[in-house]
Homo-oligomer: A and B are copies of this chain.
Amino acid sequence: MLSNFKVVLVETSHPGNIGAVARAMKNMRMNQLRLVNPKFFPHADATARASGADDLLRDATIHNTLQSAIADCQIVLGASARDRTISWPSLTARQCADKWVSSAESTQNIALVFGRENSGLKNHELDLCHYLLRIPCNAEYSSLNLAAAVQVVCYELFVASGHEQVSRIGDRGEDPLATAEQMEAFYVHLQQTIADIGFLHPDRSKSIMRRLRRIFNRIQLDTKELDILRGILRFSQNHNTK
């Protein structure tokens, strides 16, 4: 469940980033924000960047230590861009989502801990984490903006939660795609029409029709579009016989 996840920001310098984090969280239906020693909070920049997610700022809890912010959490993940010299179990954002969203362990509280803008989490803070939380990115330019990192992680959790129905590829909404039978009727009509208008030379009939099929099959017509095209064919036929 998404409500099991708590976003914990450690010693954030720029209050604007706290606001942007709140917005990123609310965009993905997350709402529990915990702040460890924020440099400035509350702050007008935080409210401005929250842009309608100020309820998350109002409900955010403030803590003096990371220990206090994660006290009720069974699982703690620490976001890290750097490769650490100590080897450490790590999960990508997607692995984290696959592992804990809608899993049997869903009664557990899970802390997602994000460090300072410039220096991340310190080693003694990582000692409190069970996993490093990693976002796959460009190894040569790996430091994401704080809110951008939170956005990606919350997005992965949201997608894994299945809250939103994902449309199938090519779905166009209300008009159903044409059936093969409807398409065949269209091709017959098309062939007749281009014969009627004198375009179709009998010798080349097969190869031309094959090319036309390749075109129209590729664009997956829906019934409404088919009606329009057949209307055009009818008008072409009538025009020719006038």
Quick check: A174 and B87 within 8 Å, CB to CB?
Answer: yes
Quick check: B27 and A137 within 8 Å, CB to CB?
Answer: yes
- Which chain B residue has the least Cβ–Cβ distance from A147? B148
Which of B89, B152, B167, B170 interacts with A155 by CB under 8 Å? B152
Quick check: B94 and A29 within 8 Å, CB to CB?
Answer: no
Quick check: A27 and B144 within 8 Å, CB to CB?
Answer: yes
How many copies of this chain are found per oligomer? 2
Q: How many residues of A contact B (CB 8 A)?
A: 49
Per-residue CB proximity of A50-76 to B under 8 Å, as 1/0? 011100000000000000000000000
Quick check: A144 and B148 within 8 Å, CB to CB?
Answer: no
- Determine chain A's interface SS by DSSP, over half rule: loop
Docked complex Cα distance between A6 and B113 (Å): 33
A→B interface (CB under 8 Å) = 20, 23-24, 26-29, 49, 51-53, 87-92, 94-95, 99, 134-139, 141-145, 147-148, 151-152, 155, 158-159, 163-164, 166-167, 169-175
Which of B92, B143, B170 interacts with A166 by CB under 8 Å? B92
Which of B90, B91, B139, B152 interacts with A151 by CB under 8 Å? B152
